[in-house]
Chain A
Amino acid sequence: MIPTPHVKPLPRIHRKLIFIASLILFVVSVPIFVFYATGYRFDFASDDASIKKVGGLYVSSEVSGISMYINDEPVTDMRTFQNASYIQNLEAGMYQVHTQSEGLQTWVKNLPVFAHFVTEAETFNIPQVPQIRLVTKYQTDTSASVLFENATSTTFAFASTTNIFFQATTTATTSYQLNEEYVQVQQLIASSTEEKTELVTIQEEKDRMSEPFNFDIPIPGSLVATSSQEKSTSTKQRDDVRLVQSQGDVYAQWIGRDDRIPFYYCVASTDASSTAAYYGEHVYASFVSEYGTTTDPFSKALVVAGRYCRSTIKIDRLWQSVQWFDFFPGSNDQVLMHLQDGIYVVEVDDRSWQNAQLLYPGHHLEVIVDGDRIYVKDDEYYLEIFIELQQ
């Protein structure tokens, strides 16, 4: 008998069986994966083991480490991307999403979720206590800010400062260095003030106070060339978004390619009642206002990816007059507005409502956005306001 190795080559029948098993697994698993990936779920909890359709929420945030709640339930099983969370397995319906974190203001929004679709939202959470840094005229050799009076403990008691201060006992300045940043900020704010014009008349403000969401007043997109009522006194533009101030209100206008219009300019509904239910009556009113018909504004609306879009969204000014506005640093989705009682960050996204968070309280402030920095002149003080909690 010929001696033979004990370990024989892999029998062909084994290989065939494994191949067939793999083939069956493939044929079975592909439809299941596609089924789940497209938003179908077996509802094992129900008695009849039915199939349900689900959608999702995609909530992005500039702040890391925030807590998210959906209908007051903490979200734990979310897929975390860089600065965003994807919440799956949500049945169609309205969901209240809120994000919060210690020391930050809360962002809340009611959002509709549709089967097979993902509703997007961008949250922002501004510090509850303003985070500031005084920009003093003079500095010591060690870059400590020089204060000539005992001011910070009382003047900025509402805020958190990050400066190292040197309390000067005399008004002599020869031993200090002139702060170049102070000079620069002073010049920036001075030039801004020169360009600033009165935004609204008192009468206009009275009118608007009596009718805060009066969409009968034409919005700037439809007024540009025709209306003599318009008093567009200031515009800001960044990328494909323009902020237009008209008759006391500020509007965000999308001026870019149709297929790149941000999600919150568009709705998935096609009639007044569902639009009002999912997004708020004001959203439907904005379609009526922009497309000029109360019967079926969607028939004239821009359609992008099967959704109906408007190009203009009015920014909520909290029934106050707008002293100044600009884009929030680094974002086209939020607007900085100096209202009567302070500087606010207001989101453009008007689904359900627009979140407005107080960045810095005060009256008669001078504000300037310089790159990623926000500078404010409060009384005789110049200061930088941070949008995140400082250590």
Chain B
Amino acid sequence: MEKHTNTSHLLPYAQRPDFRVGRAPELSGKDRRLYRFLEILPGVAAWTTLLGVLWMSNYAPFIAAYFIIGFAIYWVLKTAFLSYHLRYNWKRLRHHLSLDWVTMIERFEFGHMYQMVVLPFYQEPVEVVDATLQSLADVRYDKKSIIVVLAAEERAGAHGQEVAAAMKEKYGNIFGSFLVTTHPKDVPGEMAGKGSNATYAAEQARVTILDPHGIRYNHTLVSIFDIDTVLYPDYFNCLIWHFMTAENPLKTSYQPVPIFNNNIWDAPAVARVVAMSSTFWEMVQQERPERMATFSSHSVSFQALYEVGYWQTNMVSEDSRIYWNLMFANNGAYNVVPLSYPVSMDVNAAATLWQTVKNIYKQHQRWTYGVENFCYIIYHFTKNKNIPLRRKIRVSLQQAEGYWSLVTNPIMLFILGWAPIFLGTPEFHQTVLGYNLPIYVRDLLIFAMFGLVISAVISLTMLPPRPKGKSRLNYIVLALQWVLVPITMILFSAIPGLHSQTRLMLGKYMGFWVTPKSRK
């Protein structure tokens, strides 16, 4: 478990020794057993479901068939339900992009606010970092109110230092402050990853910029961006509007829509579908904020971060864990506000298709390892008595359903839906039900695929301008690529998810894998 020598600035609940627990072995006694049980639970639930369907298909095919029909209908309705949210958020996103946010915030007094931008990076090429900083330099916001913290890693060697130096040289005078930090390697108790780098950088910024300049923590908004995050011009204006209008601005995280489209014209179809699917999922979540946790690039007040000791440094999915840290430390009185305003990020694409597939798999394995948050959430629900029981139940069920459906639904729909036909008893095979099952499941899935038409249309509107040399025919490919969804759902959602849950179940904990970034 992470050790903090001075914890007086932390909120009372954040001072608990188990507040920043990353995995079961960091605990002892009953707590350790409970946490270990929670780590085992998602994997067991997923495997029980999948093997249960196989078992039922073999020994109770009629019940399996009823279940599969019900499940296919559930999927159709879920698709329609989510498509409605997606379409609505698309409408809102476009509206937000069309607004003049400078005018929108001119009635607010926000001159005292500072924007701290934390940019952790590892071995990404200078072009990627440069594009991010250039977009930051191009925002419609007072640059002197922006504090840039370029967070390098010592383990990246000379490359990190060279990139940082070059960027400071180029952009150092544009912003109010430009701090380069270098996170030391091999810090005991830390996992090498974004969380430990960002935490180090934030503390360095506090010590070297905020405190010396008397900048108040509650006047500082921290935006932690992945290094490939390219900002739209009004990001900070939009953020300020939401900060000023939030019910409790210091107890709120602000989540933009990550659109993975920076290099979309150069990425293969499978990478584009996976990337846009991730974008769409975040868009859906934007319309149901009570289910949201922070993801990837997001913003939060420095005050809130300081009160929980910044990001956890001992686990993989620090981007969403920070929300749960804040939620528990504030006894449930903490929210996420969806900005419905985009930031552009990279599609996960490598030099070869096979390497792209491998990278996407690893990236999604890391993302789906967010199931470690499930253990954390349920564990702290048993510890924090100040959170209303109703919220505990609601969040627990939402999280359980989310992680369970992530790994089981695609496999059940596209593979196990046919299991009774192959595994069922002879009694089953000669029945009308046995013959109708594949027809009904197939027809329902085709019906559900109409949701993809919405996805295809929306994705076309979110494309960056077509580069020279790219044919108009690419638009047809970009629309038709959505037929890959059943494959990508299994290959890059269900299987890596199951892999992650199985590793957690077996206690084979994952480390942080940095997604390679490149630009052509």
Once the chains bind, are B69 and A33 in contact (CB under 8 Å)?
Answer: yes
Tally of A-B Cβ pairs under 8 angstroms: 105
Specify which chain A residues have a CB less than 8 angstroms from the CB of B353 in the assembled complex. none
Q: Number of contacting residues on A, CB 8 A?
A: 39
Once the chains bind, are A305 and B104 in contact (CB under 8 Å)?
Answer: no
Once the chains bind, are A9 and B430 in contact (CB under 8 Å)?
Answer: no
Once the chains bind, are B338 and A34 in contact (CB under 8 Å)?
Answer: no
B324-363 interface with A by 8 A CB criterion: 338, 340
Specify which chain A residues have a CB less than 8 angstroms from the CB of B69 in the assembled complex. 30, 33-34, 37
Once the chains bind, are B81 and A3 in contact (CB under 8 Å)?
Answer: no
Q: Is A263 an interface residue (CB 8 A)?
A: yes
- Distance in angstroms from A256 CB to nearest chain B CB is 13
The interface centre, meaning the residue of A15, A19, A56 with most chain B CB atoms within 10 A of its CB, is A15
Q: Is A55 an interface residue (CB 8 A)?
A: yes
Q: Is B272 an interface residue (CB 8 A)?
A: no
B278-336 interface with A by 8 A CB criterion: 286-289
**Segment of B144-152, B158-166, B257-265, B432-440 engaged in the interface with chain A:** B432-440
What CA separation (Å) do A7 and B91 show in the bound complex?
8
Once the chains bind, are B74 and A118 in contact (CB under 8 Å)?
Answer: no
Specify which chain B residues have a CB less than 8 angstroms from the CB of A120 in the assembled complex. 430
Q: Mark A239-266, 1 if CB is under 8 A from B, else 0.
A: 0000000000000000000010001000
Once the chains bind, are B426 and A86 in contact (CB under 8 Å)?
Answer: no
Q: Is A2 an interface residue (CB 8 A)?
A: yes
What CA separation (Å) do A304 and B289 show in the bound complex?
56
What CA separation (Å) do A37 and B95 show in the bound complex?
45
Partner of B426 from the list A15, A118, A259 (CB cut-off 8 Å) is: A259
Residue in A closest to B78 when the chains form the complex, CB atoms: A22
Once the chains bind, are B91 and A118 in contact (CB under 8 Å)?
Answer: no
Q: Is A18 an interface residue (CB 8 A)?
A: yes
What CA separation (Å) do A110 and B136 show in the bound complex?
79
What CA separation (Å) do A36 and B74 show in the bound complex?
17
- Distance in angstroms from A14 CB to nearest chain B CB is 9
Q: Please report whether the interface of chain A is mostly helix, strand, loop or mixed according to DSSP.
A: mixed
Q: Is B96 an interface residue (CB 8 A)?
A: yes
Q: Number of contacting residues on B, CB 8 A?
A: 45
Specify which chain B residues have a CB less than 8 angstroms from the CB of A6 in the assembled complex. 95
What CA separation (Å) do A37 and B434 show in the bound complex?
9
Q: Mark A303-314, 1 if CB is under 8 A from B, else 0.
A: 011110000000
Q: Is B65 an interface residue (CB 8 A)?
A: yes
Q: Is B518 an interface residue (CB 8 A)?
A: no
Q: Is B92 an interface residue (CB 8 A)?
A: yes
Q: Is A54 an interface residue (CB 8 A)?
A: yes
Q: Is A238 an interface residue (CB 8 A)?
A: no
- Distance in angstroms from A351 CB to nearest chain B CB is 14
What CA separation (Å) do A369 and B340 show in the bound complex?
72
B398-429 interface with A by 8 A CB criterion: 425-427, 429
Instruction: Assess A3 versus B104: contact at CB under 8 Å? Given A10-B287, A25-B77.
Output: yes
Q: Is A127 an interface residue (CB 8 A)?
A: no
Instruction: Assess A2 versus B436: contact at CB under 8 Å? Given A7-B91, A120-B430.
Output: no
Once the chains bind, are A116 and B74 in contact (CB under 8 Å)?
Answer: no
Closest 3 CB pairs of A and B: A305-B426, A39-B432, A7-B95
Taking Cβ atoms with an 8 Å cutoff, the residues of B that contact A are 65-66, 69-70, 73-74, 77-78, 80-81, 84-85, 88-89, 91-92, 95-96, 99, 103-104, 107-108, 244-245, 286-289, 338, 340, 425-427, 429-437, 439-440
Supply 7 further A-B pairs (C-beta < 8 A) apart from A25-B77, A37-B437: A26-B70, A38-B436, A39-B432, A39-B433, A39-B436, A54-B432, A305-B430
10 contacts between A and B (CB under 8 A): A3-B104, A10-B288, A18-B81, A22-B81, A39-B433, A117-B430, A117-B431, A118-B431, A118-B434, A263-B430
